[in-house]
């Protein structure tokens, strides 16, 4: 049955006849968001950082240490792989008419362009290859800058109000909190359904208290 078609990447039921499930696609969207939020800039900084090789001998720097490399080779390779991966898939998806606008040829803009079309692309025949390659390139980049970001699922749905036709309703998307010490995204709460639905744990607690007060008032009427 179509409802039980296994995802080509994780083997979980995809819920439809798409080669890749929504959860795997959402993981890729989160990775692309991290690229345009902070990873592209962190890679650029890491590539430009001078890396001294070698050690000391008798309190003096060795010849290798005295001649630092002008770039961080690990970060440079990761940036090149990520750029090549994103630019390749931008071309593929643009030819498939995912959207008419082409992004600028830089990591942040390509990631921003790709993120909204991943859900659409998961139904294409190349979806598993696309998602696997993008995820691998993003992971390599994160390792190169040594700035890991943890994503912790939150056991409650997104409560941002959206319109279903003319009817307002709660979004209901899965929420994830980002733990990224030292980065501007630390503590953000992200919705898998809409990248604009960004809040914080403090915002969620305020919303919970407001909802409790409303329930109490309704119970008294």
- pLDDT, one tens digit per residue, over 18-45 is 999 888 998 899 899 889 988 998 898 8
Q: Distance between CA 174 and CA 161 in Å, rounded?
A: 14
Q: Which of 107, 130, 147 is the last residue of a domain?
A: 147
In this structure, are 134 and 50 located in the same domain? yes
Question: What's the pLDDT band for 1 if we cut at 50, 70, 90?
Answer: very low
Q: pLDDT class for 98, splitting at 50, 70, 90?
A: low
Contact, 122 vs 131, CB < 8 A? yes
Same domain, 7 and 74: yes
Q: How many other CB atoms sit within 10 Å of the CB of residue 123?
A: 14
Mean pLDDT for all residues in the chain = 82
State whether 114 and 190 are in the same domain.
no
Same domain, 7 and 99: yes
* Among 26, 33, 25, 23, CA closest to 185: 33
Buried b (16+ CB within 10 A) or exposed e, 55-73: eeeeeeeeeeeeeeeeebe
H or E stretch at 177: strand 174-179
Task: Grade residue 58 by pLDDT with cuts at 50, 70 and 90.
Answer: very low
Q: Answer whether 89's CB lies under 8 Å from 127's CB.
A: no
Same domain for 189 and 130 = no
Q: Are residues 91 and 25 located together in one domain of the fold? A: yes
Beta bridge partners of 198: 190
Residue 201 has a pLDDT of 80
Give the bridge partners for 175, in sequence order.
Answer: 154, 191
Select the more confidently predicted residue: 71 or 56.
71
Q: What gap in Å lies between CA 189 and CA 80, rounded to an integer?
A: 30
pLDDT for residue 53: 33
- The number of residues in the chain equals 221
Same domain, 26 and 131: yes
Residue 99 — very low, low, confident or very high, per pLDDT cuts 50/70/90? Answer: low
Q: Report which DSSP code applies to 122.
A: T
Residue that finishes a domain, picked among 147, 168, 187:
147
Please report the pLDDT score of residue 50 as a whole number. 42
Task: Give 99 or 105, the one with higher predicted confidence.
Answer: 105
Let me know whether 46 and 142 are in one domain: yes
81, 189: one domain: no
**What average pLDDT does this structure show over 202-217?**
79
**Domain limits at 11?**
1-147
pLDDT in the model for residue 148: 67
pLDDT over 70 percentage in the chain: 85
Reply yes or no on whether the pLDDT at 2 is more than 60: no
pLDDT confidence tier of residue 4, bands split at 50, 70 and 90: low
Quick one: pLDDT at residue 108? 94
- Per mean pLDDT, which range of 49-63, 151-165, 178-192 is the poorest? 49-63
pLDDT (mean) for 84-107: 88
Residue carrying the six token digits 């803009």 = 109
B/e letters for 138-177, b = 16+ CB within 10 Å, e = fewer, are bebbbebbebebeeeeeeeebbbeeeeeeeeeebebbbbb
């Amino acid at each position: 049955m179509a409802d039980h078609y296994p995802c080509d990447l994780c083997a979980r039921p995809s819920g439809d006849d798409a080669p890749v499930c929504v959860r795997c696609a959402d993981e890729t969207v989160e990775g692309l968001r991290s690229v345009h939020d902070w990873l592209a800039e962190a890679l650029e900084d890491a590539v430009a950082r001078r890396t001294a090789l070698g050690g000391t001998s008798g309190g003096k720097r060795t010849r290798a240490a005295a001649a630092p490399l002008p770039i961080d080779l690990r970060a440079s390779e990761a940036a090149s792989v990520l750029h090549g991966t994103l630019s390749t898939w931008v071309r593929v998806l643009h030819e498939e008419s995912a959207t008419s606008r082409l992004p600028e040829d830089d990591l942040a803009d390509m990631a921003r362009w790709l993120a909204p079309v991943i859900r659409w692309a998961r139904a294409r025949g190349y979806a598993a290859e696309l998602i696997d390659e993008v995820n691998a390139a993003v992971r390599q980049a994160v390792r190169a800058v040594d700035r890991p970001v943890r994503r912790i699922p939150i056991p409650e749905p997104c409560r941002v109000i959206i319109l279903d036709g003319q009817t307002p309703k709660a979004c209901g998307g899965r929420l994830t909190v980002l733990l990224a010490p030292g980065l501007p995204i630390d503590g953000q709460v992200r919705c898998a359904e809409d990248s604009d639905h960004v809040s914080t744990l403090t915002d969620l607690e305020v919303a919970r208290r407001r909802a409790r007060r409303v329930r109490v008032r309704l119970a008294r009427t």
